[in-house]
Amino acid sequence: MAPRLQLEKAAWQWAEMVKPEDITREHIELAYRVAVSACKRGACRRNCRGNPNCLVGIGEQSWLGEIDENAFHNIDDPNSERRDKNTFVGLTNLGATCYVNTFLQVWFHNLELRRALYRFQNSRAEGHNMDSDYEPRTICEHLQYLFALLQNSNRRYIDPSGLVKALGLDTGQQQDAQEFSKLFLSLLEDTLSKQKDPNLQNVIQQQFCGQFSYVTVCNKCGRESPLPSRFYELELNIQGHKNLTECVTEFLKEEKLDGDNRYYCESCQSKQNATRRIKLQSLPRTLNFQLMRFVFDRQSAHKKKLNTFISFPEVLDMGPFLGKEEKCTYELSAVLIHRGVSAYSGHYIAHVRDAHTNDWYKFNDEEIEKMEGKKLQLGIEEDIAETAKSQTRKPKCSKGYHCSRNAYMLVYKRQMEEIDQTETNVEVPAFLQKLVDQDNKKFEEWCNEMADMRKQSVDKGKAKHEEVKELYELLPAEDGQSYEFVPLEWLKKWLDDSTAIKEIDNKSRNIILRNIIHDLPYLFHFVQALGC
C-alpha cells in the first residue's frame, strides 16, 4: 500500500468504532496526524502529502544551501564596465550607428590624424571650469574630446552621441557608410583649413587626398588632354574580379571614345575617335579603396549587395600603377566590413591594426577582441540571416593574402623606410587630459555608488537569509510542544522571497479542533508555536 494510503487508513481507523458523541481531542489529533513524525531533509524528494509535519520541499532549499550573493540584487558588477589593462575603448551603438563607430575607430588609429586633432585650437576646452561638465560644440571639438577619451578613459566603452547629434545623423536609420566617409572628411577638411597652423590646415589632404588625371588622347593628332582631379578614395568595381589588383587595373583601364561618344579635339577642331584613361599622379599616406559592393539593380530598381569574394594583400606595391620602377609600398591597416545580405540593413564591424604592436583587433561597437591564431582572418565575418547552404565556399588564399565577401573598404598606410619611435607616441594634451580625468572621476564615483548599493542589497539579503534559516529550523513541532495550524500555501509563499504575504489569523484554531475537516492535513501544516 502506498505511504499516503497507509497514513490515511491509520488516521481514520477509530472512526469505525467511536460514536460521534464520544470523539475526543485525541481522536481529532489522530485524524489530523499531529503525532506523525516530521520528515527529515534528504529523506524526502518532495513534500509528503498527508503528513502535516513534513516541512521538506516547500521552498526551503534556496535558504538552507550555499549563499548566492547575486540572488540578493539585480545590479551588475560595476567593474564589468571598466576598461581592461592594455585594451582599447569601445563605442556605444545608439541604434543604427555601427557604421559611424567603425570609421571613428579607424580614424582614431590614424596616429597622424589624432596628433593633428590634438593641436586643434580649442579655447573653450582650455578655459573650461571643472565645476561643470564639458560640452563640445563644433565637429572638431567633439572629435578631439572623443579621441582623448578613446585613448585614456577608464571606461570599457564611451558614448559618441554628442558627435552624432552634432552631425545631425538619424540614430534609428542606417545611412550610406561610403557616403558618410566622404562627407565627414570633407567637413573636417573645411573646418581645419581655417586654422592658423599650416600643418593642421593641410592634414586631411596630406593623409587622405591623392590626385589623378583623366587623360584623353586624340586618335588623329595624338594630342593629350589631361583633366586633373582629387580623390579621397578609389572606388573600385568588383564585378567579375577575384582580387584587388584586377580591380585597380580595371579602374585605370583605357576606354574608347567613338561613335556618339566621340571626343571634341581642340587641335583638330572637330569630333574625333579617342581613348581615355585614368592616370595616377600622386597617392596619399592613407590610401582608401572603396569596394563597390552596393550597386543599383535595374531589374528591381533598388540597391543590392554583391557578395563576391575579393582577395587582398597585407603588403601592396602601387609602383606599377604609378608607372614607376621604384616601389611604392603600402601596408594594410584596416578592413571595414558589412555583415548582412541586404544593402539596406545589416551590421558594420572594423578589423584594425594597432600601429604600436602591429596586432589586429576586431571593433564591434562596445566589444573589442584581439585577433590572433585562427581568429586572424581579416575581412571574415558571418553574414546575418544567411543559412549555411546559401554561403559561397571561400576560395583559398596565398600566404600574406586575405579573402572576403563582406569587406567594403580597405585602408592601406604608406610604408616608411625608417620609422621614428616618436611618431608612434601620441600624447593627450594637458587641457584635454584634465577633461578625461574629470570624466574618469565621475566614472569612479558611479562605480563606488553602484558597489555600495550592491553591498547594501547583499548585506540585507544575507541578514534575511539567516533570519529565515533560523526560523525554519524552529518550525518542526516535537512531541508535547504547542503548535499552530499554518496553511501549506502560506508557508510556500513565505519561503518564496518574491511573493508578498499577509499575516495569519489563527483564532479559528479551536473551531478546527472541534470540527473534523477531512482535507486539513493536505491544506495545513503544523509548526511549533515558538516558530510562529
Q: What DSSP letter does each residue of 32-92 carry, written as one string?
A: TTTTSPPPPBTTBSS--TT-TT--SSSS-HHHHS---GGGG--PPPGGGGBPPTT---EE-
Beta carbons of 342 and 384 less than 8 angstroms apart: no
Cβ atoms of 96 and 90 within 8 Å: the answer is no
Amino acid at the residue 450: M
Encode burial over 22-60: b for 16+ CB neighbours within 10 A, e otherwise.
Answer: eeeeebbebbbbbebebbeeeeeeebbebbbbbbbebbb
Own/partner contacts of 10-17, CB < 8 Å, gap of 24 or more, are: 11/521
Q: Are 64 and 469 in contact (CB under 8 A)?
A: yes
Per the DSSP assignment, residues forming a β-bridge with 225 are 216
Q: Please give the torsion angle defined by the CA atoms of residues 520, 525, 527 and 531, in that order, rounded to the nearest 10 degrees.
A: -120
DSSP 259: G
Which three cell numbers mark 349? 564591424
Q: Catalytic positions, please? A: 98, 347
CA–CA gap between residue 308 and residue 179 (Å, rounded):
21
d(CA 158, CA 183): 24
Q: Which helix (H) or strand (E) holds 426?
A: none
Q: What number of residues does the chain have? A: 532
Cα–Cα distance measured from residue 519 to residue 144, given in angstroms and rounded to the nearest whole number: 76
